[in-house]
Chains A and B, each alone.
Chain A
Amino acid sequence: MDKLLEVRNLKTYFHTQDGVVKAVDGVSYDVNKGETIALVGESGCGKTVSALSILRLVAEPAGKIEAGEILFDGIDLLKLTTEEMRKMRGAKISIIFQEPLTSLNPVLTIGRQISEGLEFHRNISLNEGLKEAVRLLQLVGIPHPERRIYDYPHQFSGGMRQRAMIAIAIACQPQLIIADEPTTVVDVTIQAQLLELIRNITKELNTALILITHNLGIVARYAHRVFVMYAGNIVERGSAMDVYHYPCHPYTAGLLTSVPRLDEPRKIRLIPIDGQPPDLIAPPIGCAFQSRCNYSIPKCQNEKPPLQEVAPNHYAACWVSQKDQRPWQKKSL
């Protein structure tokens, strides 16, 4: 398969009063053309920052991409000038943000906001842009688009705003869309509508998708490959099937057993992951998950485990897993 995006050893740090927050600390992942991958993890694990880094949207001066390469179609995005980068955003890579109410401009009409990118990238007039906006709103399922392009974001409901966001994201037919928790603020029935819409559109346009979410169910439904993040690192990667059926990192296994499942008999008790994620200003020396892990060995305290192939195309950053015995798998199966 053709590689569209390759992120290599990305490090994005935030310089705060209390010290340096290593939000993303040496993350590598790749996306093939037309593929959907998922970045999964809890809040603060660095999944959003690692995706924002691709678009170079990390807020400076506090946030800074310290090291790494982001190869998009062979071009290193980190080496582009600001002007060259502007030409990528929206045209080649676009993003759907989590909260459409705060990420849409409240004083511009929806049509104007969809047209904005088209005018910039395609060099067309506002009038032509608005015509295209009508077509796009139709495509994302908004009734009466010829009237709705003159509405402001506050006149749209939450689900419709997110549809408008999708219309903006696909306007220039990008090769890659980043969807950052696209359905966290909407209800389940609307979530189902939006995700189906995103899936159909990416399929039709053969667009690659990076789906950022904490919802393991959504990942299972939509992603081909999964990258599990914890404390600024990828701790497990593999195909959705492998990761869900044979989790090779105890954190992934813990996440899977801590959520109740509708298709299984009800458990008497859930098995939570005790404790909480580490402070990213002073992360532990060894494995970041070690203090919450039931299977840790002395080595985990002293040495940080690298991401290594533990089965064909299935990688995990865990010392225990590498010894080829995964006690958590027996438990969860």
Chain B
Amino acid sequence: MAEEIIIEVNNLTKYFPVSRGLFRQKKIAEVKAVDGVSFAIHSGETLGLVGESGCGKTTLGKCMVQLYRPTSGEIIFEGKDLCRLSDKELRPFRQKLQVVFQDPYDSLNPRFTAMDIIGEPLRIHNIAKGKEYQERVAELLRLVGLAPYMAERYPHEFSGGQRQRLGVARALALQPRFIMCDEPLSALDVSIQAQIINLLDDLQEKFGVAYLFISHDLSVVRHISDRVAVMYLGKIVEIANRDELYKNPLHPYTQALLSAVPIPDPEVEMKRQIIVLKGEVPSPMNPPSGCVFHPRCYRAFADCSQTIPLLEDVGNNHHVACLLYNQSRP
């Protein structure tokens, strides 16, 4: 893995205003969807981002490709802070930052043919025309395991797995350096998921593109990621190399998440102890004081409701935001 950092996120926040009133809208609160997040992704690397729905993982991903403009913080890409660029200045960067969306049924225009869908980025950025354009689309189709003769078909003529391949082809059209994959498998059947995972793996090897792989499926994330970040209520609570995180999860939330994943083997399941967390994820409009996880934590102590734990290195490039570990150090 190359050590070159391709995209760096520094202290990023994204707050959504909550307003009341029909005509004179008044801001009454804020949803802190992403609240002070920092990390970096290296070229050709996959960072897995896991967490429950509403924890801010999609918002974070959308900020990184500037589909949302963050409230504060920095996103450094090719030496520039994307957050400070105007829409016009951003345009050349958008080619290099692409997205594969969650639901291939919603994210493909039903009135476009496969060629229109895959070729749209090429048209918008004036990259190819005429015969070259058609050849490029055919090549992209082949690249994702579809046949060039399918270019004239509409999305409804494709199966779910094939549609997601179209989504991948579209993202690849401009030869990006970074692709944000937002739950690209969750709308697909188990037997099809493996096909898309292998496709993403192959393309990364071929083009050296970096992925942010957002998912709630921890087994899939382990398979595809080099490093994994765990998010809870707008914050990263743990981030480490894949093997380190799965072998030695430190944050109680990560431990609970891992134990909640059922393993497809009845014998293993019979012997397994699972940690069932109490309650549900609190509202990000009114997050708990101190550590945001403390009301559900089975290892919480008095200080947890007072002190906000910081994401600290505990060695081995393993960062965790939990007072259990911050205190144990001298």
Contacts and interface: CB of A to CB of B under 8 A. Distances in A.
Contacts of B195: 272, 274
A241 interface: yes
Contacts of A219: 264
A262 B274 contact: no
Contact of A270 (B194, B257, B268): B194
Given A193-B277, A217-B264, A262 B219 contact: yes
Nearest to A267: B223
A159 B280 contact: yes
A220 B219 CA distance: 15
Interface stretch (B92-100, B114-122, B184-192, B304-312): B184-192
A285 interface: no
A261 B261 CA distance: 10
Given A272-B198, A276-B161, A193 B276 contact: yes
A226 to B, nearest CB: 9
A220 B265 contact: yes
A276 B192 contact: yes
A256 B257 contact: no
Contacts of A273: 191, 194
Contacts of B190: 42, 214, 216, 255, 258-259
Nearest to A43: B189
A331 interface: no
A7 to B, nearest CB: 23
Contacts of A196: 274, 276
Given A220-B269, A255-B190, A262-B219, A189 B263 contact: no
Interface in B235-279: 242-243, 246, 256-269, 274, 276-277
What interface size band does chain A fall in? 35 or more
A155 interface: no
Interface string A252-276: 0011101111110011011111101
A273 to B, nearest CB: 4
Given A187-B53, A192-B277, A244-B265, A262 B194 contact: no
Contacts of B143: none
A43 to B, nearest CB: 6
Contacts of B201: 269
B222 interface: yes
Nearest to B161: A276
A221 B326 CA distance: 35
A192 B260 contact: yes
Nearest to B276: A192
A270 B223 contact: yes
A260 B222 contact: yes
A68 B246 CA distance: 49
What interface size band does chain B fall in? 35 or more
Interface in B191-220: 191-195, 197-198, 201, 216, 218-220
A159 B54 CA distance: 13
Interface in A207-224: 214-221
Contacts of B189: 42-43, 214
A241 B243 CA distance: 29
A241 B219 CA distance: 21
A244 B262 CA distance: 14
B264 A188 contact: no
Contact of A258 (B52, B194, B243, B274): B194
A157 interface: yes
Contacts of A263: 263, 265, 268
A271 B281 CA distance: 35
B109 to A, nearest CB: 23
Nearest to A217: B262
B194 A271 contact: yes
Contact of B260 (A188, A254, A255, A259): A188
Interface string A176-198: 00000000000111111100100
B280 A157 contact: yes
A169 interface: no
B264 A266 contact: no
A272 B263 contact: no
Contacts of B222: 260, 262, 266
B276 A261 contact: no
B197 A270 contact: yes
A245 interface: yes
Contacts of B289: none
A218 B213 CA distance: 24
Contacts of A270: 194, 197-198, 223
B266 A189 contact: no
B159 interface: yes
B280 A190 contact: yes
Interface in A34-79: 42-43
A283 to B, nearest CB: 16
Please list the 9 inter-chain residue pairs (A to B) with the smallest Cβ-Cβ separation, ordered nearest first: A217-B262, A272-B194, A216-B264, A187-B52, A260-B223, A273-B191, A42-B189, A258-B194, A270-B194
